[in-house]
Amino acid sequence: MRYLQIEGGHRLAGKIEILGAKNSALPVLYATVLTRSVSVISNVPDISDVLTTLEILKRMGVIITKIAENTYEIDTRNVDFCEAPHRLVNSMRGSYYLLGAELGRFGRAKLGEVGGCDFGERPIDQHIKVFRALGATVNQTDSCIVMCADRLVGNRITFDVVSVGATVNAILCAVLAEGRTVLCNCAREPHVVDLCKYLLRCGAVISGAGTSKIIIDGVRSLSGSDFSLSPDMIEAGTYMALGSAIGEYIEIGGIEPSHLFCIYKTLVGAGADIRMLDDKILVKGGSLHSVSVETAPYPGFPTDMQPQLVAAMTTADGVSHISERVFKTRFRYVEQLSRLGANVEVIGDTVTVYPSRLHGATVETTDLRAGAALVIGALCADGVSYVKNSDLIKRGYGDMCKKLVGIGAHVSEHETVSGDGVFP
Ligand code: UD1
């Protein structure tokens, strides 16, 4: 097991560069399968979810060549239908985009149980609703989904909940379907927009990306295209939260300000000293007081920032209330944060954060963003902490250790040789 050793309490200063978004990379990489052509995707983050996705694509016969730093040429001309290995599918959530991509290209798809962060129940009924509405026969068991369709035909679908994954799968499935598909109550996240922008460059006919109604007129085929992924708003937001808590002066570059507005507004409302410029953000810490916020689909405050905000607000001098409206039980990390001395209490879907004096401790990350929250907590704590299971953090943060060391953090990554015995 890998773990981070973090000596907290050091003020942080320097620059951090943000790379492309994980949640854009996965849909766009799967979308290349629909093109029967060659695409060049750049600003691809160095994270394990991307590596897993590339491995799944290679198993299908996709030829992938790294042609520059964070840039891949992806050749999907000779691709065969293939059942992705359980080990790969089960290590991440985004592997379910294989369903839309395979159904669109081969008229059939088969996928084992997907993995990803455990926030409690994560149903995929909205994905299934779309596949059926477009004409697929879907057989779902506890461990597997099998789908087939002689032809896919456009339809009008209204999602019962706003779902990023279902919106993405619907787009993947509809771009090559016959006729018009109208999707209502869509997710409006920048990653949905990225997917549509890439597909538009490939010749798809899509309007309304970034609004709650997306209209797709199916085309017979798609060409390949160059595409650069937009910056990861959650990576940027994580360093904004860290900087707000303990930053001397942190500059976050490579960002898209419009994607970060809600995170910026929330942190500034909590007392943070943040300046948003055209392509960078300047953050000074130490002035947090309190915040009252609830998570919501984009453009609301992202659920993927909730744990990091809670960690940052433990350093504030007032009481905060943070409500989780997207994944109502996304609080598994709270127990671990408490081990660092965080005075936090969960009632229903709201966590109350009291002023806390954080201290070093051994903690274990339960999921990707939980890991980021624990890192923020450990960096704000007095003394040394060990964050176990740090591989989970690499699913979504490229070079986190290196980036933190670059701003003066005392962080190093290690591997246990003999179980848990090394931890105090
Ligand atoms: C994606 C992101 C994840 C983020 C989440 C919400 C990826 C790979 N993951 O996850 O990082 O936390 O969006 O921004 O992009 N729901 C249903 N039925 C469905 C689908 C979803 O009830 O068929 C519910 C979920 O339980 C949840 C809400 O809809 O309450 C939003 O989930 P969704 O947007 O689908 O999350 P993911 O796409 O899985």
Ligand 1 atom with least separation from CA of 122? 26
How much is the pLDDT for 89? 80
Three-state SS string over 395-410 comes to HCCCCHHHHHHHCCCE
pLDDT digits (tens, 9 = 90+) for 339-363: 999 999 999 999 999 999 999 999 9
- Asked whether the predicted pLDDT for residue 80 surpasses 90, the reply is no
Half-sphere exposure of 248 (CA within 13 A, CB side): 10
- pLDDT higher than threshold 80 for residue 419: no
Bigger pLDDT: 111 vs 126: 126
- Give 80's contacts (C-beta < 8 A, 6+ positions apart): 60, 61
The CATH number assigned to the domain with range 22-228 reads: 3.65.10.10
Mean pLDDT score, 135-162: 94
Per-residue DSSP letter, 95: G
Query: Residue 91 above 90 pLDDT?
Result: no
- Write down the catalytic residue from 82, 117, 148, 401: 117
Q: Cβ-count burial of 413 within 10 angstroms (0-12 exposed, 13-18 middle, 19+ buried)?
A: middle
The residue ranges of every structural domain in the chain are 2-18+231-415, 22-228
Query: Ligand 1: which residue has its CA nearest to atom 7?
Result: 23
| pLDDT the model gives residue 87 | 83
| Ligand 1-lining residues (CB < 6 angstroms) | 23, 26, 93-94, 122-127, 161, 163-166, 187, 303-304, 326-327
Catalytic, 196? Answer: no
pTM: 0.96
Give me the pLDDT at residue 84, please: 81
Average pLDDT, rounded, for the chain = 95
Whether 418 shows a pLDDT value over 80: the answer reads no
For Cα atoms 400, 422, 367, give the angle at the middle one, nearest 5 degrees.
40
> Whose alpha carbon is nearest atom 29 of ligand 1?
163
Cα separation, 25 vs 19, whole angstroms: 11
CATH number of the 2-18+231-415 domain:
3.65.10.10
* Residue 121 Cα: closest atom of ligand 1: 26
At residue 68, does pLDDT exceed 90?
A: yes
Question: Ligand 1 centre and the CA of 188: distance in Å?
Answer: 12
pLDDT, average across residues 373-378: 98
Give the mean pLDDT of 125-146: 93
Confidence of residue 261 (pLDDT cuts 50, 70, 90): very high
- Ligand 1: distance of its center to the CA of 201 in Å? 26
C-alpha 252/C-alpha 318 separation (Å) is 26
| C-alpha 310 – ligand 1 centre gap (Å) | 20
Mutate to test the pocket of ligand 1, among 188, 326, 333 (most ligand atoms within 8 A of CB): 326
Model confidence at 383: pLDDT above 80: yes
Q: Are 199 and 172 in contact (CB under 8 A)?
A: no
Helices (H), strands (E): how many in the chain?
13, 23
Distance 165 CA to ligand 1 centre (A): 6
- Range name among 137-146, 148-157, 329-338 with the lowest pLDDT average: 137-146
Instruction: Give, using CA atoms, the residue closest to atom 17 of ligand 1.
Output: 123
Residue 303 CA, ligand 1 centroid: distance in Å: 10
Distance from chain centroid for Cα 343: 27
By the 8 A CB rule, do 181 and 162 touch? no
Q: Which residue has the tokens 């989780």?
A: 324
- Tell me the average pLDDT across 171-192: 98
* Domain pair 2-18+231-415 / 22-228, same fold: yes
Could you tell which of 122, 124, 160 is best to mutate to test the pocket of ligand 1, judged by most ligand atoms within 8 Å of the CB? Answer: 122
Q: Is the pLDDT of residue 248 over 70?
A: yes
Q: Which of 26, 97, 161 to mutate to test the pocket of ligand 1 (most atoms within 8 A of CB)?
A: 161
In this structure, which residue's CA is closest to atom 32 in ligand 1? Answer: 163
The runs of H, that is alpha helices, within 252-327 are 261-269, 306-313
What pLDDT shows up at residue 85?
Answer: 81
In this model, does residue 118 exceed pLDDT 80? no
Residue owning the nearest CA to atom 13 of ligand 1: 164
Cα of 112 vs centre of ligand 1, distance in Å, is 18
Ligand 1 atom at minimum distance from 302 CA: 14
Q: Output 235 or 417, whichever has higher pLDDT.
A: 235
Pocket perturbation via mutation, ligand 1, pick of 30, 96, 164 by most ligand atoms within 8 A of CB: 164
Instruction: Give the model's pLDDT for residue 421.
Output: 61
- Quote the tokens at residue 29: 């990489």
Arithmetic mean of pLDDT, 273-286: 93
Nearest to 104 by CA among 40, 157, 148: 148
The Å distance, Cα 7 to ligand 1 centre, comes to 34
Residue nearest to atom 25 of ligand 1 (CA): 122
Detail the DSSP E strand segments found in 226-289.
Answer: 226-228, 247-253, 273-276, 280-284
